[in-house]
Amino acid sequence: MTSDKRVMNTTRRSFLRIGAVLSAMASVGKATAMSAVAPSSSAEVVVKDINPGKPFILTTWDFGPDANALAFKMLTEGRSSLDAVEAAINYVELLPDEYWVGYGGVPNEVGETTLDAMVLWGPTHDVGAVGCLKRVKKAISVARAVMEKTQHSLIVGDDATRFAARMGFEETSLTNITSQKRWEEWAKKGELSDAFNPEPFSEDALQGHDTVGSIALDAMGQLCVGCSTNGREFKIPGRVGDSPIAGAGAYGDQAVGGAVATGNGDVMMRFLPTYHAVELMRQGVLPENACKAAIKRITDRGYKFGGGMAAIRIDGEHGGAQSGWENEGFSYSIQTKDTATKFPVV
């Protein structure tokens, strides 16, 4: 992982502006969140004030508590939220028995596991992402390298792997016994990928899956958001899901907070739900209601899908929502100085 020094002495896209951003925030004693202006020249801009809270980290699903414990220790040591988000997601990416994130799971049609990941750094609104990354385990770390070392925001496929190797990442197989066996069992059936099924307007036959999303705020009030997944089982080779798309799998705004999503990314990415949720929070909507509204926008168009969202404001107010996962047990966990709690989403 990159040291804190890289976060503050940075690279391109003017990480040097961080000092100016933080000074401005300090001068007013709070972060000012303004709503997006409606498409009218006479539209009134609504201003909501959200006071920055204490350091926190939020991570989705059942692996959240352990990932948070590791990452929050870094926050207490003065490390950046970028380091914390990377560490939390790396923890999940490297779990040996996690089928839906990182190596060893969710093969595509030809039996290969590929990874999607994205990170967004709040102070400069900089983004780095990789899609359909092959043969490199730490997808979120490669996404960070895209953000810090290039002017690009998204690199995909074999070219993402070549970039990772150029940055010093090790190439290795992402297949293990579990993923190989699952693919062999499926291939014997001779079925097409369910990606060729009709759109899910009657039901969503996809299994639930555990995209990891993390949102952190550090002691300097710097926000970071990230997510990582190996995507949809038996997907068509080359498919990229919602996770590396800013505003789809994850989104954040330094003045407001962040949101992360998990579930049927092929449907959810069409509506940019995490962007929607953050913009609603900017207007003063509570995080839980913002997530509910973002999901309702999808279901109102007739989609039957499994998916969940979690969002947190920079003051620590948080909430989540889900669709079609009444029996899945979707949850997110938050750790702060005072508490470490898992929140089921119903």
Evaluate whether 307 touches 322 at the Cβ level (below 8 Å).
yes
Q: Among 59, 60, 211, 229, which one carries the catalytic annotation?
A: 211
Q: What are residue 259's DSSP bridge partners?
A: 251, 311
Catalytic residue check, 211: yes
Three-class HEC string of the chain: CCCHHHHHCCCCCCCCHHHHHHHHHHHHCCEEEECCCCCCCCCCCCEEEECCCCCEEEEECCCHHHHHHHHHHHHHCCCCHHHHHHHHHHHHHCCCCCCCCCCCCCCCCCCCCEEEEEEEECCCCEEEEEEEEECCCCHHHHHHHHHHHCCCCEEEHHHHHHHHHHCCCCCCCCCCHHHHHHHHHHHHHCCCCHHHCCCCCCCCCCCCCCCEEEEEECCCCCEEEEEEECCCCCCCCCCCCCCCCECCCEEEECCCEEEEEEECHHHHHHHCHHHHHHHHHHCCCCHHHHHHHHHHHHHCCCCCCCEEEEEEECCCCEEEEEECCCCCCCEEEEECCCCEEEEECC
Secondary structure element (H or E) that encloses residue 305, with its range: none
Residues making up the chain, counted from first to last: 346
Alpha-carbon span 63 to 54, nearest angstrom: 23
**Residues with catalytic function:** 211
